[in-house]
């Protein structure tokens, strides 16, 4: 009997080249953070580009992790979240949402907020569905939408010329409405925002909510910088506005809250139907999240209130923000004061940086800052669609989630900008 391999298939066409990579990822390259962190490391620059704290997490948080491992919280956790953690989250957030959250059905713990984004989009977006992204956006949003087969639709925030406050960047509601079609399914909101540091006001969110309800959309609200709010601004959760709880997924992050970005513990808070859908996606992505670190975050949340931790965190970052704002102002980089997060956008048009024809100006400026001045910043163009990247030509993003010693060294190096202006 002849081998099946010896009989050619007449219905099978074999391509001459081996190409195993799926189209959905073929267009992705290295992130801007990878490029500029590598450049900073290679040149010895002070890295005020990538937004991760370079100081120690609070001792009570680290001790909770050590105790969790020693206490044998080392096996698979409940897929939707370690019971102690979801209960702690419900305890903290119920007051902020103005409702008694059900820890077992309205909270899903994820591998950082980034997996929360991915799982939510996978759960809610079908191929061909359109998703509104407000520019500038966190750079994982378009990737999550694209990998779900969705179509990103971009609507930029705009600021008047000469703006010096992140709050001045506003959304044109008419422009937003014009971007909505019968295929629009989801809108992704980021407040406080990365990279702007903008905190959407109650009035702005009310206008946004009216549009969302009118067109029967869902909102994914990325609020990972929620505890970094600077007076007199308040953080308003869009899920608390009339008609919005039923159609909002709110994301949070232990990494941002407790300066443990490597732990990758995040959470999604949503009404039961949305949370159940997210869980269906989540269980096939990581299945579960690190049990000892979930136990540690639960303990940290339980202790944060009595310790006054959230107020301390905001005050600590406020001092760092004001310190870097003062330096940037002094050297002529025209900073835009953020009301939240730990990022500052600056206007770089005063810098006489040569730009090659095939390089965006914001990229050239940030490379120059890293290589010549010795302080790394991030170009904001990757936070925009290609059609709107020209809006970032004269912008750069710095972060201030660094030690006072590192900020002092950055300040010393930034002084050299005065010599080239």
- pLDDT tens digit string along 192-217? 999 999 999 999 999 999 999 999 99
β-bridge partners, 336: 345
The percent of residues in the chain predicted with pLDDT above 90, rounded, is 90
CB 223 within 8 A of CB 113: no
Q: What is the C-alpha to C-alpha distance for residues 309 and 298, in angstroms, rounded to an integer? A: 14
Q: How far apart are CA 225 and CA 370, in angstroms?
A: 26
Q: Find the helix packing angle between 291-307 and 309-330, rounded to 10°.
A: 90
Report pTM.
0.95
The class that CATH gives domain 59-307 is alpha beta
| Protein fold of 27-51+310-419 | 3.90.1150
Q: What is the pLDDT of residue 220?
A: 99
Taking residues 276-301, report their average pLDDT.
98
Distance CA 107, CA 82 (A): 11
pLDDT band at 3 (very low <50, low <70, confident <90, very high): low
Distance (Å, whole) CA 189 – CA 202:
14
- The CATH 3.40.640.10 domain(s) of the chain lie at 59-307
First to last CA, the chain: 84
Tell me the pLDDT band of 267, cut-offs 50, 70 and 90.
Answer: very high
Question: Residue 418's pLDDT is what?
Answer: 87
What are 29-76's pLDDT values in tens digits?
888 888 899 999 999 999 999 999 999 999 999 999 999 999 999 999
Q: Residue 19: which pLDDT band, with cuts at 50, 70 and 90?
A: confident
Write out the H or E segment, with its range, that includes residue 397.
Answer: strand 395-399
Given pLDDT bands bounded at 50, 70 and 90, which one contains residue 17? confident
Using alpha carbons only, give the angle 177, 179, 181 rounded to the nearest 5 degrees. Answer: 90
pLDDT of residue 31: 84
Residue span(s) of the chain under CATH 3.90.1150.10 come to 27-51+310-419
């Amino acid at each position: 009997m002849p081998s099946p391999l010896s009989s050619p298939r007449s219905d099978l066409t074999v391509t001459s080249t081996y190409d195993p990579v799926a189209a959905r990822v073929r267009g992705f390259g290295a992130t801007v953070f990878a490029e500029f962190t590598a450049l900073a490391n290679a040149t010895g620059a002070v890295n005020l580009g990538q937004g991760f704290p370079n100081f120690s997490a609070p001792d009570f948080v680290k001790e909770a992790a050590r105790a969790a491992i020693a206490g044998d919280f080392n096996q698979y956790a409940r897929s939707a979240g370690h019971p102690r953690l979801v209960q702690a989250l419900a305890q903290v957030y119920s007051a902020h949402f103005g409702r008694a959250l059900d820890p077992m059905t309205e909270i899903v713990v994820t591998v950082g907020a980034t997996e929360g984004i991915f799982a939510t989009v996978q759960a809610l977006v079908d191929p061909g569905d359109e998703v509104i992204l407000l520019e500038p956006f966190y750079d994982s949003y378009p990737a999550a939408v694209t990998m779900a087969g969705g179509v990103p639709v971009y609507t930029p925030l705009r600021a008047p010329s000469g703006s010096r406050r992140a709050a001045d960047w506003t959304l044109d509601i008419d422009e937003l409405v014009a971007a909505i079609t019968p295929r629009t399914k989801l809108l992704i909101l980021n407040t406080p925002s990365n990279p702007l540091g903008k905190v959407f006001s109650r009035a702005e969110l009310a206008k946004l909510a009216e549009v969302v309800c009118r067109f029967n959309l869902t909102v994914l609200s990325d609020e990972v910088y929620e505890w970094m709010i600077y007076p007199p601004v308040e953080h308003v959760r869009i899920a608390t506005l009339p008609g919005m709880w039923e159609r909002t997924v709110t994301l949070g992050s232990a990494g941002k809250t407790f300066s443990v970005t490597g732990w990758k513990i995040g959470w999604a808070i949503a009404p039961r139907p949305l949370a159940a859908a997210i869980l269906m996606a989540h269980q096939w992505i990581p299945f579960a999240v690190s049990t000892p670190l979930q136990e540690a975050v639960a303990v940290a949340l339980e202790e944060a209130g009595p310790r006054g931790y959230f107020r301390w965190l905001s005050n600590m970052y406020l001092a760092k923000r004001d310190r870097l704002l003062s330096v940037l102002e002094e050297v002529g980089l025209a900073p835009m004061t953020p009301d939240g997060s730990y990022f500052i956008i600056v206007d770089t048009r005063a810098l006489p940086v040569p730009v090659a024809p095939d390089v965006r100006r914001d990229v050239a400026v940030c490379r120059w800052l890293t290589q010549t001045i010795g302080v790394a910043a991030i170009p904001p163009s990757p936070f925009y669609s290609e059609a709107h990247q020209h809006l970032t030509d004269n912008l750069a993003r710095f972060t201030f989630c660094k030690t006072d010693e590192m900020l002092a060294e950055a300040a010393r190096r930034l002084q050299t900008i005065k010599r080239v202006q």
